[in-house]
Amino acid sequence: MAETSRPDGPAVLAQNQYGKAENRVVRITRDGATHHIKDLNVSVTLSGDMDDVHYSGSNAHVLPTDTTKNTVYAFAKQHGIESAEQFGIHLARHFVSSQEAIRTARIRIEEYDWERIALPGAAEGGHSFVRKGQEVRLTQVFHDGASWQVVSGLKDMVVLNSTDSEFWGYAKDEYTTLPEAHDRVLATEVTARWRYGWSGEGDTPDWDASYAETRRHLLEAFAGTYSYSLQQTLYEMGARVVGERDEIDEIRLSLPNKHHFLADLTPFGLTNDNEVYLAADRPYGLIEATVLREGREAAIPVDLTNL
């Protein structure tokens, strides 16, 4: 097929990508009477030699998004779902290696965790589950045919310290009215994205163990830090992960400061000794930063933590 020329005019196509988003795939594995469940939301994004379809509507290079959806479900059968990361690697490799026009693939996955429902007197295992409903596990696998980038993470993990948090000694200008705080509630909803050093050489990390340990370090660093600012807590969380997990080169955290204001009870003749708080919705402070392993280059986009 002949190359389509670009239409007249000043407009040029630049970065472009396409795919099928939010394929909700659930994989059940039966091990006798003990069933296992993996519950994913998979978004496929492809890019490559796509000038024609944009300039003229010729679809000769376009593998339909419907096909990418079918592939997700077929691969869940053919390869199983060992982990979100491993499943993403299977998918990304397939699209880039099987379609000449496709040069890169990015697979984004959300994973929802489930707990078993225990029945009294029953053996462990079984086939009944209740969704854990806490944080959502995330991964993004990117492949360009040569190297790999895996950025995993989590979102929606809400944490709170009811003491050991202060905020004072800050800069002031003519619009500053905030009183200093020497014992406040510190609460945030953690969104984290960490990038693995693995880029295709050598063994992959143990994705599930790495997730569990990174999550634990984030929680423990949040809980264990006596905080003078949310920025300091953020850094401690990131530094803990980089310090403890050699397989991770970089982590980005987005921490909304979920303000808990002390209720003013003085009009009612009551003292509020750090007991009663209003949990506010908007506005909220928003603290975001990347913590990097020394000597590595940052690669997580600034806007990724907003997703």
Q: Note whether 270 binds its own copies by CB under 8 A.
A: yes
# of chain residues touching its own copies (CB under 8 A):
145
Q: What are phi and psi of 127, to 5 degrees?
A: -130, 20
Q: Note whether 9 binds its own copies by CB under 8 A.
A: yes
Instruction: Report the residue from 82, 119, 206, 212 that binds its own copies according to the rule CB under 8 A.
Output: 119
Instruction: Report the residue from 3, 24, 147, 200 that binds its own copies according to the rule CB under 8 A.
Output: 24
Contact 62, 50 (CB under 8 A): yes
Q: Note whether 272 binds its own copies by CB under 8 A.
A: yes
Instruction: Compute the least distance from the CB of residue 243 to its own copies, in Å.
Output: 5
Q: Note whether 276 binds its own copies by CB under 8 A.
A: yes
Please name the helix (run of DSSP H) or strand (run of DSSP E) that holds residue 234, with its range, or none. Answer: helix 230-244
Q: Note whether 169 binds its own copies by CB under 8 A.
A: yes
From 57-65, 84-92, 191-199, 200-208, span contacting its own copies (CB under 8 A):
57-65
Alpha carbon distance 72, 155 (integer Å): 23
Of residues 94-113, those binding its own copies (CB under 8 A): 98-99, 101
Q: Note whether 283 binds its own copies by CB under 8 A.
A: yes
Decide whether 152 or 257 has the Cβ nearer to its own copies. Answer: 257
Give residue 105's region: left, alpha or beta (phi > 0; psi -120 to 50): beta
Q: Note whether 50 binds its own copies by CB under 8 A.
A: yes
Of 269, 187, 278, 179, nearest to 227 by C-alpha is 187
From 7-15, 82-90, 147-155, 192-200, span contacting its own copies (CB under 8 A):
7-15
Alpha carbon distance 181, 178 (integer Å): 9
Instruction: Compute the least distance from the CB of residue 259 to its own copies, in Å.
Output: 9
Alpha carbon distance 128, 125 (integer Å): 8
Which positions are catalytic? 20, 65, 259
Q: Note whether 18 binds its own copies by CB under 8 A.
A: yes
Question: Which residues are registered as beta bridge partners of 189?
Answer: 158
Q: Give residues with Cβ within 8 angstroms of 250, minimum separation 6.
A: 194, 195, 242, 290, 291, 292, 293, 296, 298, 299, 300
Instruction: Report the residue from 103, 104, 114, 144 that binds its own copies according to the rule CB under 8 A.
Output: 114
Instruction: Report the residue from 57, 123, 182, 203 that binds its own copies according to the rule CB under 8 A.
Output: 57
Using DSSP's 3-state secondary structure scheme, residue 118 falls into coil
String of contacts with its own copies for each residue 130-149, x by CB under 8 A: xxxxxx--------------
Q: Which residues of 66-93 are buried (b: 16+ CB within 10 A; e: fewer)?
A: eebbebbeebbeeeebebbbbbbbbbbb
Of residues 198-257, those binding its own copies (CB under 8 A): 219-220, 222-224, 227-229, 231-232, 234-235, 238-239, 242-243, 250, 256-257
Instruction: Report the residue from 2, 123, 124, 172 that binds its own copies according to the rule CB under 8 A.
Output: 172
Instruction: Report the residue from 27, 79, 93, 155 that binds its own copies according to the rule CB under 8 A.
Output: 27
Q: What are phi and psi of 108, to 5 degrees?
A: -110, 135
Please name the helix (run of DSSP H) or strand (run of DSSP E) that holds residue 143, with its range, or none. Answer: strand 136-143
Contact 139, 84 (CB under 8 A): yes
